[in-house]
Copies of this chain bind each other. A is one copy, B any other.
Amino acid sequence: MTKQTDAIDFWFDFSSPYGYLMAEKIDALAARYGRSVRWRPFLLGAVYKQVGGQPLTSIPLKGPYSIRDLARSARFLGLRFSMPNPFPVSTVHAARAFYHLAQGDPALARRFALAIFRDYFVDGHDISALDKVVDVGASLGIDGEALGVAVGTDAVKALLKSACDEALGIGVFGSPYVVIDGEPFWGVDRLPQIERWLESGGF
C-alpha cells in the first residue's frame, strides 16, 4: 500500500463540538496502528446549503439533548469541554488559515487547528474573527501579519473552496467524518468502530 492510501482523512468544521472531541483523539488512535491522519477542515454550512441540515443545538428536542450529550461525551472521553456562546460561528478564516499553514508545514497546521478548537470549546472564545485567528496563530509563534494577509489571498481561498467541493463530492454530510480505506465513519461515537477497523483491516 502506498503512503497516500494509508492516510486517514479527518473531515471537520472548526465549529463542530463533536469534531473537536475527535480532533483530540484521532491522531493518537491512528498512530497506535501506524497510520497518519490528513486533517481536512471544511465548511459545514456549505454542505448544509446543498443537502439540508441545521445546527444540531437548534433542532427541537434533539438540541437540548445534544448539549447534555456533548458534556457527557467529553467526560466519557476524558476531555475538557464547555459549550461556547455564540454557537455556531463562522469558521471560514480559521479554515483558510489552516490550509495556508498546511502548505508549508502540516504539523504546524495541526497544532494551529487544535489551538483553535481549544480556544473555542475549552476557553469559550469566539473564533470567527480574522484578528482572533491571527492571534491564535501568533501564540504558536506564527508570523501573525503574514498569516492575516495570506488568508485573504485568492490562492488560499481557492484551497478551502476546493476542500469543500471535495467534501461534497465524496458525500461528507456532517462533522466529524473520518474516511479509512474508503470506509466512512460519521461522529466521534464511531471511535470504537474506527479502532476495530484499524486493528483488523476492516470488519
A interface, CB within 8 angstroms of B: 51-52, 59-62, 64-65, 68-69, 72-73, 75-76, 171-174, 183-184, 186-187, 189-190, 192-193, 196, 203
Total identical chains: 2
| Cα distance, A193 to B21, chains bound together (Å) | 15
Given contacts A75-B203, A203-B76, contact A62 B174 (CB under 8 A): yes
Given contacts A184-B68, A186-B69, contact A196 B51 (CB under 8 A): no
Partner of A189, one of B59, B174, B190, B196: B190
Question: What are some 12 contacts across the A-B interface (CB < 8 A)?
Answer: A51-B61, A52-B60, A62-B173, A62-B186, A64-B171, A72-B183, A73-B193, A75-B203, A76-B196, A76-B203, A189-B190, A192-B192
Q: Report, nearest first, the 5 A-B pairs whose CB atoms are least far apart.
A: A61-B173, A189-B189, A51-B60, A61-B171, A62-B173
**Which residues in B have their C-beta under 8 angstroms from that of A72?**
183, 193, 203
